[in-house]
Amino acid sequence: MSLPNTVRVRFAPSPTGMLHVGGLRSALFNWLFARHSGGTFILRIEDTDRKRYDPRALPDLLESLRWLGLDWDEGPEVGGEYGPYFQSQRTHLYGQYARQLLDSGDAYYCFCTSARQAGGNPEQTSHRGAATGYDRRCRTLDARAAAERVAEGESAVIRLKMPLEGRTTFHDLIRGDISVDNGIQDDVVLLKSDGYPTYHLANVVDDHLMRITHIMRADEWIATAPRHVQLYKALGWQMPAIAHLPVVLDPSGKGKMSKRKKVAADGRVLPVHVRDFREAGYLPEALFNFLALIGWHYDDHTELMTRQEIVDRFSIERINPAAAAFNYAKLDNFNGVYIRGLTVEELTDRLMPFVVRAGFHADRQTLLRITPLVRERMERLDQIAGLVDFFFAEQLADYDPLELIPKKADAAEACRLLASARELLAGVEPFDHDSIERALRGLAERLDVKAGQLFQPIRVAVCGRLVAPPLFGTLEVMGRECALKRIDQALGNLAALAPLAG
């Protein structure tokens, strides 16, 4: 059976934990290649390792892929011609091919117990290609006698007979030809004694049966490729084209982007799982654009691209084999750009869950008026809470009353400025941005102070902080009643300070 003419690619995660951003990048590249070439993107769940199975992983995976907009054409919940798409529901198939390999003399039963193995457990799947050190003792057993022992109930695994001499060579679409010495390859376990396949057998059988044309996977699997080449050969199947994606390194560029907790300079825990990116308020379109550029580029300067542009421009030729570091600062920057690209309505809708999560009782109408005041100041949606809390608080959090006093002034002067502003604001009609601005600027002139001198005490009085959204809009949205109440409180704070000012 030759490979189909149209591209069929797959993302084949093992449901052992929450989806990591590195995994998402692999899914994205497969998806991009499928969409670019009008092909099919398949999601296959490699869930034969029952020990590492995590029941929370699948819902998290599906949700994460959907959140980024990586829709699959075949797989869980959508079905398809080549299902089932869960390996745990296909175990009968793997046994059948393992037996075929026994019959053709390309595999053998191994009875070695873990106790005999110095180098490791014979059941070990040696997932990522690390040699298990098995000494091939059972390779020379008589095949018929071995089959009889199994028929009598003795426990055995099935191993692939790797060639003992020569080299295995394959072509990697990103790295070129790769050649390894067969002498250093193990006789890998294909079927475990409980009848479950190892990753190697299941992965190869399914890629073949699902008619995969291109394997694109994380570079950590590169060491397993020579075994897969031999397995395809033994089964008499054409191997799909193969590409190993560059590793995603952590921000320092020194180690792999691990699952270990990373903390930013400002104390924030940096996300590594996809769900944490979502919860931190990264927009899926920003993460999409950012991840596409980890290991792939379009030209030497274009970075911000729409989803469609990336689909149109994507190609395997432009994937760089070198490892690429995950730069959070750059992602934040992208995210800020994407945030500012949303309409006020869109941004408000995206912010709403974050505002609710922060415990604020905001209605959409109010938030629609606040959004334009803060959109320039946000790089992540979760920052909204710290930017707008004062709009929703009954009572302002304690602030340092000294902040009410502008430079080169004292408490008495701050009191004078704030009291005049209060009087004016009580009468401004209508209480909107433009009228407030006109009134306050006029007041600064009349009092013969710089506008900033006057605005600082007002800002601190109503927002409880020195750095806050633009003042006139803030006052308008807050409303006269609330603003005056807070200014009165601030005047009280200043009065308490007055003796200090002498």
Q: Which of the residues are catalytic?
A: 259
Instruction: Pick the stretch among 7-15, 111-119, 275-283, 380-388 that binds ligand GLU (CB under 6 A).
Output: 7-15
From 7, 9, 12, 32, residue interacting with ligand GLU (rule: CB under 6 A): 12
Determine, following the binding rule CB under 6 A, whether residue 335 of this chain makes contact with ligand GLU: no
Rounded CA separation 142/144 (Å): 6
Q: Cβ distance 40 to 74 under 8 Å?
A: yes
Instruction: Pick the stretch among 11-19, 137-145, 341-349, 485-493 that binds ligand GLU (CB under 6 A).
Output: 11-19
Pattern 266-305, binding to ligand GLU, x per CB under 6 A? ----------------------------------------
With 0-12 / 13-18 / 19 or more C-beta atoms within 10 angstroms meaning exposed / middle / buried, residue 334 is: buried
Rounded CA separation 159/215 (Å): 23
Rounded CA separation 273/259 (Å): 8
Which residue, 227, 207, 26, is CA-closest to 129?
227
Determine, following the binding rule CB under 6 A, whether residue 221 of this chain makes contact with ligand GLU: yes
Instruction: Pick the stretch among 6-14, 73-81, 320-328, 484-492 that binds ligand GLU (CB under 6 A).
Output: 6-14
CA angle, 329 then 333 then 336, to 5° = 140
- Least distance in angstroms from the C-beta of 122 to ligand GLU: 21
Query: Which residues 6+ apart lie within 8 Å of 370 measured at CB?
Result: 362, 388, 391, 469, 477
- Which CB atom, from 134 or from 221, has the smaller least distance to ligand GLU? 221
Query: Which residue matches tokens 């745990």?
Result: 88
Determine, following the binding rule CB under 6 A, whether residue 14 of this chain makes contact with ligand GLU: yes
- Which CB atom, from 49 or from 403, has the smaller least distance to ligand GLU? 49
Structure tokens at 264: 């930013």
Nearest residue relative to ligand GLU (C-beta):
217
Q: 45 to 74, contacts with ligand GLU by CB under 6 A?
A: 46
- Least distance in angstroms from the C-beta of 340 to ligand GLU: 36
User: How does 308-322 read in b/e, with b if 16+ C-beta sit within 10 Å?
Assistant: eebbebbebeebeee
The DSSP H or E segment spanning 249 is: strand 248-249
Any alpha helices (H) in 223-283, and if so which ranges? 225-235, 274-279
- Least distance in angstroms from the C-beta of 25 to ligand GLU: 12
- Least distance in angstroms from the C-beta of 37 to ligand GLU: 19
Determine, following the binding rule CB under 6 A, whether residue 217 of this chain makes contact with ligand GLU: yes
The DSSP H or E segment spanning 263 is: strand 262-263
- Least distance in angstroms from the C-beta of 217 to ligand GLU: 3
- Which CB atom, from 14 or from 383, has the smaller least distance to ligand GLU? 14
- Least distance in angstroms from the C-beta of 240 to ligand GLU: 10
How many of the chain's residues bind ligand GLU (CB under 6 A)? 7
The CA distances from residue 389 to 355, 383, 397, 433, 462, in Å, are: 9, 10, 9, 20, 12
Which residue, 250, 254, 290, 292, is CA-closest to 271?
250
Which residue, 240, 8, 204, is CA-closest to 87?
204
Pattern 166-205, binding to ligand GLU, x per CB under 6 A? -------------------------------------x--
- Which CB atom, from 46 or from 186, has the smaller least distance to ligand GLU? 46
- Which CB atom, from 46 or from 332, has the smaller least distance to ligand GLU? 46
Q: What are the residues binding ligand GLU (CB under 6 A)?
A: 12-14, 46, 203, 217, 221
